[in-house]
Structure 1
Amino acid sequence: MRVIAGTYKGHSLKAVPGMNTRPTTDKVKESVFHRIGPFFNGGLGLDLFAGSGGLGIEALSRGLDRCIFVDHNGKAIQIIKENISALRISEEQVEIYKADAKRALKACAKRELKFDLIMLDPPYKLKNHMELVEQIEKLGLLKESGQILCEHDAKDVLTETAHFSIMKREEYGMIGVTIFQKQI
């Protein structure tokens, strides 16, 4: 697992040991970021269910100013910190929290944060993508031009909501990726 493009291009990332996390493959990461970026002119990201932090780190490498990393697994939090440290990413660019996803979203809303990019990659067995997308919508966490990137089981079909349309849906074998954006 490595950073595909940008400032940290080519650097390897540590993965969370065990079978509880499933890092986004380099092929999927490259394709997805090519569709949503491929580079950013600043902005704020949220890597929810961050695992090793690969998606958020890729977004920082491609130009996001800051990223908040959230995972409920203590070992994942440790690996994110190690990956951030190894790449010498500035402390001002990251916030890392051990928290439940729904609580983290509520905390972001209390802080009145608005994100340019929200990355959702929960364990496939949870099947709560739409619930999270609807909570993001209800809490008003996405900027007008923002996007939500959802990685999910290819068998699962995510649908548009009252305020978010599907910009792109792709399949990579068993992996599905759906990208939402605000309806204008």
Structure 2
Amino acid sequence: MFSNRTAGVDMRIIAGEARGVRLRSVPGLEVRPTTDRIKESLFQIIGPWFDGGLVLDLFAGTGSLGLEALSRGAERAVFTDRSRASVETIRHNLKAAGMEGRAEVYRRDARAALRTLARRKKTFRYIFLDPPYKEAILPGVLQAIAENDLLEPEGIIVAEHGVDRELEPVYRRLVRVRNLVYGDTVIDLYTLLPENPTGGGNF
């Protein structure tokens, strides 16, 4: 979750058991948290409420997306980010929301994290991908998720990127089912195509 925008954005958990908890931003000018307006719209589409499930917040930044999912009923979340400041911020925000016991936090590069999760045979119902807009990393990450079967059969991937980039509609068995545009932000939603598909997605 990196860009050249300032990090001084007022963030909170919008709904659920930790509704209203204010989240700390990552110090400095690099982290670009998803705005509350976009986050609220997104969760109305993919939820808005969850019945358990494991969450991966891969470029976690402040942890805002994973925390929102936990607050809305996801069971557990794995947060990863390569920045020490981000990892410290995520831990602070988890404590503020009273959710430390439902999360794992790792300081790790995205591709290294995916390799580790694949070795651990982890699968996720919800995967949030909000990498630095300036880095063309999402295609490789989506490919790695597909190759390592990290998404549950009924799972959803949320891939956020700048409007100046475009993702492919299909990565192996991952198929894009929605394309959402919010100004200069685009969110693509992917699900897992059944091995013997009989119809389209529900989005």
Q: Given the two structures, how large is their TM-score scaled by the length of structure 2?
A: 0.88
The corresponding residue for 2:14 is 4
Alignment of structure 1 residues 86-165 onto 2, 5 Å: 86-91=96-101, 93-159=102-168, 160-165=170-175
SS in structure 2 at match of 1:23: coil
**Would the aligned equivalents of 1:165 and 1:183 in 2 still touch at CA under 8 Å?**
yes
Alpha-carbon deviations, 1:80-121, whole Å to 9, x = none? 010011111142x10000000000001001110010011000
SS in structure 2 at match of 1:77: helix
Alignment of structure 1 residues 1-184 onto 2, 5 Å: 1-91=11-101, 93-159=102-168, 160-184=170-194
Calculate percent identity across the aligned residue pairs: 40
In 2, Cα distance between the equivalents of 1:162 and 1:68? 24
> Structure 2: which amino acid aligns with 1:72?
R
> Structure 2: which amino acid aligns with 1:100?
D
SS in structure 2 at match of 1:170: strand
Q: Which stretch shows the higher mean deviation, 125-134 or 154-163? A: 154-163
Q: Which stretch shows the higher mean deviation, 165-174 or 93-102? A: 165-174
Cα root mean square deviation, aligned: 0.8
Alpha-carbon deviations, 1:62-91, whole Å to 9, x = none? 110000000000000000010011111142
Which of 1 and 2 has greater Rg? 2
SS in structure 2 at match of 1:63: coil
SS in structure 2 at match of 1:56: helix
CA distance 1:170–1:51, shift in 2 (3 Å): same
> What is the Cα deviation at residue 164 of structure 1?
1.2
Which runs of at least 4 in structure 1 moved beyond 6 Å after TM superposition?
none
SS in structure 2 at match of 1:125: coil
In 1, Cα distance between the equivalents of 2:172 and 2:146? 9
In 2, Cα distance between the equivalents of 1:167 and 1:37? 15
SS in structure 1 at match of 2:93: helix
Structure 2 gaps of 5+ residues are 1-10, 195-203
In 1, Cα distance between the equivalents of 2:139 and 2:100? 33
- Size of the alignment, in residue pairs? 183
**Would the aligned equivalents of 1:155 and 1:176 in 2 still touch at CA under 8 Å?**
no
Q: Which has the higher helix share?
A: 1
Structure 1 gaps of 5+ residues are none
> What is the Cα deviation at residue 162 of structure 1?
2.6
> Structure 1: which amino acid aligns with 2:182?
Y
> Structure 2: which amino acid aligns with 1:82?
H
In 2, Cα distance between the equivalents of 1:133 and 1:150? 9
In 1, Cα distance between the equivalents of 2:17 and 2:96? 13
